[in-house]
Protein backbone atom coordinates (compact mmCIF):
# COMPACT_ATOMS: atom_id res chain seq x y z
CA UNK A 1 0.00 0.00 0.00
CA UNK A 2 2.85 2.38 0.82
CA UNK A 3 4.45 1.56 -2.54
CA UNK A 4 1.19 2.39 -4.34
CA UNK A 5 0.95 5.75 -2.56
CA UNK A 6 4.59 6.51 -3.40
CA UNK A 7 4.01 5.75 -7.11
CA UNK A 8 0.95 8.02 -7.23
CA UNK A 9 2.68 11.14 -5.86
CA UNK A 10 1.83 14.31 -7.71
CA UNK A 11 4.42 15.57 -10.17
CA UNK A 12 4.83 19.31 -10.57
CA UNK A 13 4.35 20.59 -14.14
CA UNK A 14 7.77 22.30 -14.10
CA UNK A 15 9.66 19.21 -12.94
CA UNK A 16 10.75 18.12 -16.42
CA UNK A 17 12.81 15.17 -15.23
CA UNK A 18 9.90 13.74 -13.24
CA UNK A 19 7.51 14.38 -16.15
CA UNK A 20 9.87 12.60 -18.56
CA UNK A 21 10.36 9.65 -16.20
CA UNK A 22 6.61 9.38 -15.67
CA UNK A 23 5.95 9.30 -19.42
CA UNK A 24 8.76 6.75 -19.89
CA UNK A 25 7.37 4.57 -17.07
CA UNK A 26 3.95 4.63 -18.70
CA UNK A 27 5.45 3.73 -22.09
CA UNK A 28 7.42 0.73 -20.88
CA UNK A 29 4.40 -0.59 -19.03
CA UNK A 30 2.11 -0.44 -22.05
CA UNK A 31 0.65 -3.83 -22.86
CA UNK A 32 2.08 -3.86 -26.39
CA UNK A 33 4.98 -5.25 -28.36
CA UNK A 34 8.24 -3.26 -28.00
CA UNK A 35 8.27 -2.74 -31.78
CA UNK A 36 4.77 -1.23 -31.70
CA UNK A 37 5.63 1.14 -28.84
CA UNK A 38 8.94 2.17 -30.42
CA UNK A 39 7.35 2.69 -33.83
CA UNK A 40 4.53 4.76 -32.36
CA UNK A 41 6.96 6.89 -30.34
CA UNK A 42 9.15 7.43 -33.41
CA UNK A 43 6.12 8.59 -35.43
CA UNK A 44 5.16 10.92 -32.59
CA UNK A 45 8.68 12.36 -32.47
CA UNK A 46 8.47 13.02 -36.21
CA UNK A 47 5.14 14.85 -35.82
CA UNK A 48 6.52 16.70 -32.78
CA UNK A 49 9.14 18.37 -34.94
CA UNK A 50 6.57 19.68 -37.43
CA UNK A 51 5.52 23.31 -36.85
CA UNK A 52 1.90 22.48 -36.10
CA UNK A 53 1.78 23.07 -32.35
CA UNK A 54 -1.75 22.77 -31.09
CA UNK A 55 -2.83 19.94 -33.38
CA UNK A 56 0.18 17.64 -33.01
CA UNK A 57 -1.55 15.01 -30.88
CA UNK A 58 -4.43 14.67 -33.34
CA UNK A 59 -2.01 14.49 -36.28
CA UNK A 60 0.09 11.85 -34.47
CA UNK A 61 -3.01 9.73 -33.96
CA UNK A 62 -3.96 10.12 -37.62
CA UNK A 63 -0.44 9.32 -38.82
CA UNK A 64 -0.66 6.00 -36.93
CA UNK A 65 -3.84 4.90 -38.71
CA UNK A 66 -2.20 3.45 -41.84
CA UNK A 67 0.35 1.59 -39.71
CA UNK A 68 -1.10 -1.51 -38.05
CA UNK A 69 1.76 -1.80 -35.55
CA UNK A 70 2.12 1.82 -34.44
CA UNK A 71 1.06 2.34 -30.84
CA UNK A 72 -1.14 5.45 -30.70
CA UNK A 73 -0.54 6.37 -27.02
CA UNK A 74 3.21 6.21 -27.64
CA UNK A 75 2.82 8.44 -30.71
CA UNK A 76 0.84 10.98 -28.73
CA UNK A 77 3.53 10.95 -26.03
CA UNK A 78 6.21 11.54 -28.67
CA UNK A 79 4.80 14.89 -29.79
CA UNK A 80 5.64 16.31 -26.38
CA UNK A 81 9.22 16.70 -27.59
CA UNK A 82 7.90 20.18 -28.35
CA UNK A 83 6.27 21.67 -25.31
CA UNK A 84 5.99 25.21 -23.95
CA UNK A 85 9.58 25.06 -22.67
CA UNK A 86 11.21 23.58 -25.78
CA UNK A 87 9.15 25.00 -28.65
CA UNK A 88 11.17 28.18 -29.19
CA UNK A 89 14.62 26.56 -29.47
CA UNK A 90 13.26 23.63 -31.50
CA UNK A 91 11.34 25.87 -33.92
CA UNK A 92 14.36 28.13 -34.30
CA UNK A 93 16.51 25.08 -35.07
CA UNK A 94 14.10 23.58 -37.60
CA UNK A 95 13.79 26.98 -39.29
CA UNK A 96 17.59 27.15 -39.54
CA UNK A 97 17.77 23.61 -40.97
CA UNK A 98 14.93 24.37 -43.39
CA UNK A 99 16.70 27.43 -44.81
CA UNK A 100 19.38 25.09 -46.20
CA UNK A 101 16.71 23.41 -48.36
CA UNK A 102 14.40 26.38 -48.98
CA UNK A 103 16.42 29.57 -48.78
CA UNK A 104 14.26 32.39 -47.49
CA UNK A 105 14.79 35.86 -48.94
CA UNK A 106 16.18 37.01 -45.60
CA UNK A 107 17.07 35.23 -42.43
CA UNK A 108 14.19 35.96 -40.10
CA UNK A 109 15.08 38.12 -37.13
CA UNK A 110 12.77 40.41 -35.18
CA UNK A 111 13.95 43.39 -37.22
CA UNK A 112 13.42 41.62 -40.57
CA UNK A 113 9.96 40.51 -39.49
CA UNK A 114 9.11 44.09 -38.54
CA UNK A 115 10.40 45.49 -41.82
CA UNK A 116 8.61 42.82 -43.88
CA UNK A 117 5.33 43.38 -42.04
CA UNK A 118 5.66 47.14 -42.44
CA UNK A 119 6.22 46.68 -46.18
CA UNK A 120 3.17 44.41 -46.41
CA UNK A 121 0.98 46.88 -44.53
CA UNK A 122 1.97 49.61 -47.01
CA UNK A 123 0.59 47.58 -49.91
CA UNK A 124 -2.66 48.87 -51.43
CA UNK A 125 -5.80 46.81 -51.01
CA UNK A 126 -6.87 43.72 -49.13
CA UNK A 127 -5.86 41.28 -51.86
CA UNK A 128 -2.35 42.70 -52.19
CA UNK A 129 -1.88 42.72 -48.42
CA UNK A 130 -3.14 39.12 -48.17
CA UNK A 131 -0.69 38.04 -50.89
CA UNK A 132 2.06 39.86 -49.02
CA UNK A 133 1.24 38.13 -45.72
CA UNK A 134 1.13 34.74 -47.45
CA UNK A 135 4.52 35.44 -49.02
CA UNK A 136 5.86 36.40 -45.60
CA UNK A 137 4.56 33.09 -44.28
CA UNK A 138 6.39 31.23 -47.03
CA UNK A 139 9.69 32.68 -45.85
CA UNK A 140 8.99 31.42 -42.35
CA UNK A 141 6.58 28.49 -42.54
CA UNK A 142 7.99 26.56 -45.51
CA UNK A 143 11.55 26.42 -44.16
CA UNK A 144 10.11 25.32 -40.80
CA UNK A 145 8.04 22.54 -42.43
CA UNK A 146 10.99 21.30 -44.45
CA UNK A 147 13.40 21.57 -41.52
CA UNK A 148 10.90 19.89 -39.19
CA UNK A 149 10.46 16.99 -41.60
CA UNK A 150 14.23 16.57 -42.03
CA UNK A 151 14.98 16.75 -38.30
CA UNK A 152 11.95 14.57 -37.52
CA UNK A 153 13.05 11.83 -39.90
CA UNK A 154 16.58 11.91 -38.50
CA UNK A 155 15.25 11.82 -34.90
CA UNK A 156 12.91 8.90 -35.66
CA UNK A 157 15.73 6.46 -36.29
CA UNK A 158 17.53 6.56 -32.92
CA UNK A 159 14.19 6.98 -31.13
CA UNK A 160 12.92 3.71 -32.56
CA UNK A 161 16.04 1.66 -31.84
CA UNK A 162 16.76 3.10 -28.38
CA UNK A 163 13.14 2.72 -27.29
CA UNK A 164 12.78 -0.82 -28.58
CA UNK A 165 16.05 -1.96 -27.01
CA UNK A 166 15.29 -0.23 -23.69
CA UNK A 167 11.87 -1.85 -23.42
CA UNK A 168 13.25 -5.27 -24.31
CA UNK A 169 16.05 -4.98 -21.73
CA UNK A 170 13.64 -3.73 -19.06
CA UNK A 171 11.17 -6.53 -19.69
CA UNK A 172 13.92 -9.17 -19.76
CA UNK A 173 15.24 -7.96 -16.39
CA UNK A 174 11.72 -7.89 -14.99
CA UNK A 175 11.09 -11.47 -16.21
CA UNK A 176 14.41 -12.67 -14.80
CA UNK A 177 13.67 -11.04 -11.46
CA UNK A 178 10.19 -12.59 -11.40
CA UNK A 179 11.59 -16.01 -12.33
CA UNK A 180 14.18 -15.68 -9.56
CA UNK A 181 11.55 -14.78 -6.95
CA UNK A 182 9.24 -17.59 -8.16
CA UNK A 183 12.10 -20.12 -7.79
CA UNK A 184 12.53 -19.27 -4.10
pLDDT in tens, 146-176: 999 999 999 999 999 999 999 999 889 988 8
- pLDDT of 107: 64
Task: Band the pLDDT of 48: cuts 50, 70, 90.
Answer: very high
Q: What is the pLDDT of residues 1-28, one digit of tens each?
A: 444 444 556 766 566 677 767 777 777 7
pLDDT at 2 (0 to 100) = 47
N-to-C CA span, the chain? 23
Do the Cβ atoms of 147 and 99 come closer than 8 Å? Answer: yes
Q: Give the mean pLDDT of the chain.
A: 83
DSSP string covering 55-113: SHHHHHHHHHTT-TT--HHHHHHHGGGS-TTTHHHHHHHHHHHHHHHS--SS---HHHH
Residue 92 pLDDT greater than 80, yes or no: yes
The pLDDT score that the predictor gives to residue 1 is: 43
As a whole number, mean pLDDT of residues 34-61 equals 93
Amino acid sequence: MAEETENKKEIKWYDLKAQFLNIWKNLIHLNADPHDIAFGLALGIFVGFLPIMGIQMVVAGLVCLPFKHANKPAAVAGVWITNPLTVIPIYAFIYWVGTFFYPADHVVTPSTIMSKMTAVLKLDGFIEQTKGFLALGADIFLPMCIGGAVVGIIAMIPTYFITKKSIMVYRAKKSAKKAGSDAK
